[in-house]
Copies of this chain bind each other. A is one copy, B any other.
Amino acid sequence: MTDFLGFLKPQNMSLFTDFYELTMCAAYFDNQHLENATFDLFIRRLPENRSYFLFVGLEEALQYLQNIRFTKEHLTYLKKQGFNDNFLDYLQNFRFTGEVWAVPEGTITFPNEPLIRVTAPIIEAQLIETFLLNTINLQTMIATKASRVIHAAKGKTVIEFGLRREPGIDAGMKVARSSYIAGCQGTSNVLAGMAYNIPVFGTMAHSFIMSYSREIDAFRAFAKTFPAKSTLLIDTYDDLAGAQKAALVAKELQAKNIKLGGVRLDSGDLAETSKKVRKILDDNGLDYVKIFASGDLDEFKVNELLAKEAKIDAFGVGTKMGTSADRPYLDIIYKLCESQNANGTYSPIMKLSKDKITLPGRKQVYRTKDNNGNFKKDTIALTDEKIEGEPLLVKVMEKGKLVSNLPTLEQIRTTAKENLDKLPKQYKALTQAPTYPVELSQKLKELIEKLTQQIITNEINGENTD
């Protein structure tokens, strides 16, 4: 039997890579092409309806870089795949020794802005591509999606509830973390609760109700075990009949000086039903009993419910947030932007495939703000330029070692909130948000023009074919 989870251990992550990273590294090694190179990790464009990204995932990326190793088992496997002994000897002592700059987790970012910049011997910088993309893609995608749900909920509580349909075990963990950073109050995922110290929530499913011969018996049984924090699920058979029974149980608890926490709706017209349920509860003097809604929610549904003045106090948002269902990936890439020459200097590099141009050179992103501290404009520039604004990329790793302590999860969550607050409201519209201005510096534009001409002359018009 395959030990599925057994393979996910940290020391196997060196092989969690596309095969071509290893063949390229072998070719670099074989051709003694060992110079430094700089790669940018960035997102090419915004998905439909998105107008910014909330960057998350750096902590795991840095953990990976610190720990990447090749074990004997790996080398034996790679030998069978045709790699030669010299290269395998090199891999045996492989360590990541590069310099890494990155924007902090919780930063608001935009297309084409470098999010992580790696300068390292090209074999090292190449090999790490797949893992970095994989982890930043998922976490930034989910944090971005979740931040939209939080915005739509206008201050009401949102809990991440999607574990059962999130794509796998690692995704279940990362969705909990990323959506908590984005502003969710907690998760249903108990392991994420333990691992990251995130609050966990949840009370009962339909099966609990159905396992009793009468709905009211199920309510009473649950309230007996969790008197203080029960949320009774009232739509197993009929939501209004369920609300009446929940009210009855709430009053039984009240007679013992216990307050029922809430009721949950999981189906039907949540706006209409919530109003009727609120009335049933209020008519029974149970104004303190909260109404919790779940079932197929996302930022659009939450927005619609609140626009209809639904009487909902908290939202359990699951599948559509936890899978970023309307766009389950980012156009995230990792591209070579400069390479070291024999004399130690660096030359900028760009790619010119159809519609797939990349920004050459070692770059920094500068953000300018208005007098209230709100974000106004970003400029992508070369690092040797002097540009107005706050630089977003900070050095996080030098010679393969962390240069400072990383923020805690709570600090990242606070950073995210501060940044989301400083992003002007129009950019947070759920649809048809305007484009936030991101400019290229004059020197960067000139460099692109120069390199484009060089490529056309040398590569496309056939000079370099001897």
- Please report the C-alpha to C-alpha distance between residue A17 and residue B466 in the assembled complex, in whole angstroms: 62
Q: Which of A13-52 contact B (CB under 8 A)?
A: 13, 15-24, 26-28, 30-31, 33, 37, 39
Copies in the complex: 2
A7 touches B235 (CB 8 A): no
B165 touches A168 (CB 8 A): no
With A211-B122, A237-B353: A24-B163 Cβ-Cβ less than 8 Å: no
A1 touches B406 (CB 8 A): yes
**A285 close to chain B: CB less than 8 A:** no
**A256 close to chain B: CB less than 8 A:** no
B465 touches A245 (CB 8 A): yes
**A152 close to chain B: CB less than 8 A:** no
Q: Which of A330-363 contact B (CB under 8 A)?
A: 330, 332, 334-336, 339, 349-356
Among A59, A63, A170, A354, chain B packs the most CB atoms within 10 A around the CB of A170
**A205 close to chain B: CB less than 8 A:** yes
With A10-B3, A164-B130, A238-B459: A16-B172 Cβ-Cβ less than 8 Å: yes
- Please report the C-alpha to C-alpha distance between residue A23 and residue B126 in the assembled complex, in whole angstroms: 47
**Interface segment out of the listed A106-114, A187-195, A389-397, A414-422:** A187-195
Please name all residues of chain B whose beta carbon is closer than 8 Å to the beta carbon of A299 when the two chains form the complex: none
- Please report the C-alpha to C-alpha distance between residue A458 and residue B217 in the assembled complex, in whole angstroms: 13
A133 touches B27 (CB 8 A): no
**A9 close to chain B: CB less than 8 A:** yes
With A7-B191, A168-B135, A171-B167: A248-B465 Cβ-Cβ less than 8 Å: yes
Residue of B nearest to A19 (CB): B202
B194 touches A77 (CB 8 A): yes
- Please report the C-alpha to C-alpha distance between residue A153 and residue B96 in the assembled complex, in whole angstroms: 40
Other than A210-B336, A241-B460, A325-B328, give 10 A-B pairs with Cβ distance below 8 A: A1-B63, A2-B196, A8-B170, A17-B163, A19-B189, A21-B202, A27-B222, A31-B221, A210-B351, A319-B329
Q: Which residues of chain A have a CB within 8 Å of any CB of chain B?
A: 1-10, 12-13, 15-24, 26-28, 30-31, 33, 37, 39, 59-60, 63, 73-74, 77-78, 81-82, 122, 126, 129-130, 133-135, 137-138, 141, 161, 163-174, 188-191, 193-196, 200-208, 210-212, 214-216, 221-222, 224-226, 229, 235-239, 241, 244-245, 248, 266-268, 319, 323-325, 327-330, 332, 334-336, 339, 349-356, 406, 409, 455, 458-462, 464-466
